[in-house]
């Protein structure tokens, strides 16, 4: 299974991105990275690493792995968590980065759980809705999930089982329409095949 963990900082990403993207796209991606860094500030992932590492991993997945070059998709990948996890309103994304980016971020933003509602049910509804998402929004979600599951070994065993099952149920079917992502999740699934045995027992 190929891992995408080379871009720890924006400095790590700049040279390979410059070799891959038109200057105008690189400029917009850089602006999105600066915006995300400001909003996520000192947030950390559950593994304890700075949040920006996850965003840059997802970007690396898209550019180096899947060969994505679409400006709106790449910007949305960098910004995919700002509405869900920081004090950022969707209108700010629309004003700064355009309608299409705002729509892509909206597709992959998990809605807040209403008072008295079941959090797991809300998340399942959100994941089921992705089946109707446009392909460009699915690309954002797939890059995000590759970043997450490539580090699954660093999580607790309970989280591993739950997230693995969720990925098989909702994300792997989304990847089927894209050859690169379909193949990556196939190799990932082989590495974690033992958890499927756990699910069956």
- Contact between 191 and 3 (Cβ < 8 Å): no
Q: What domains sit in the chain, N to C, each tagged with a CATH number?
A: 10-200 (1.10.3210.10)
Q: How confident is the model at residue 201 (pLDDT cuts 50, 70, 90)?
A: low
Q: Is the pLDDT of residue 200 over 80?
A: no
Report d(CA 184, CA 192) in Å as an integer.
Answer: 13
Packing angle, helices 71-79 and 90-97, rounded to 10? 150
pLDDT at 46 (0 to 100): 84
38, 84, 118, 183: the catalytic one is 84
12, 85, 92, 178: the catalytic one is 85
3-state secondary structure of 201: coil
Catalytic residue check, 53:
no
pLDDT at 47 (0 to 100): 83
pLDDT tens digits, residue range 18-38?
A: 999 999 999 999 999 999 999
pLDDT tens digits, residue range 61-78?
A: 999 999 999 999 999 999
Residue in 65, 56, 4 with CA at minimum distance from that of residue 30? 56
Mean of all residue pLDDT scores within the chain: 96
Query: In angstroms, what is the C-alpha Rg of the chain?
Result: 16
What are the Cα distances from residue 48, in Å, to 51, 84, 136, 155?
Answer: 9, 19, 30, 11
Report d(CA 18, CA 53) in Å as an integer.
Answer: 19
Angle value at C-alpha 48, between 43 and 153, nearest 5 degrees: 130
Catalytic residue check, 144:
no
Residue in 199, 131, 186 with CA at minimum distance from that of residue 160? 199
């Amino acid at each position: 299974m190929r891992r995408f963990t080379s871009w720890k900082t924006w400095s790590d990403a700049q040279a390979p991105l410059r070799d891959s993207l038109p200057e105008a796209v690189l400029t917009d991606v850089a602006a999105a990275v600066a915006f995300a860094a400001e909003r996520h500030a000192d947030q950390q992932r559950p593994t304890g690493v700075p949040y920006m590492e996850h965003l840059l991993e997802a970007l690396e997945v898209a550019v180096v792995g899947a060969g994505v070059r679409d400006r709106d998709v790449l910007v949305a990948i960098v910004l995919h968590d700002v509405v869900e996890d920081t004090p950022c309103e969707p209108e700010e994304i629309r004003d700064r980065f355009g309608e299409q980016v705002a729509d892509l971020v909206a597709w992959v933003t998990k809605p807040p759980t209403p008072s008295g509602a079941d959090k797991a049910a809300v998340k399942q509804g959100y994941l089921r809705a992705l089946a109707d998402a446009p392909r460009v929004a699915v690309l954002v979600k797939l890059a995000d999930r590759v970043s997450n599951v490539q580090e699954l070994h660093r999580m607790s065993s309970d989280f591993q089982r739950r997230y693995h099952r969720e990925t098989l149920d909702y994300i792997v079917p989304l990847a089927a329409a894209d050859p690169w992502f379909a193949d990556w999740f196939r190799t990932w699934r082989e590495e974690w095949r033992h958890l499927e045995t756990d699910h069956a027992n």
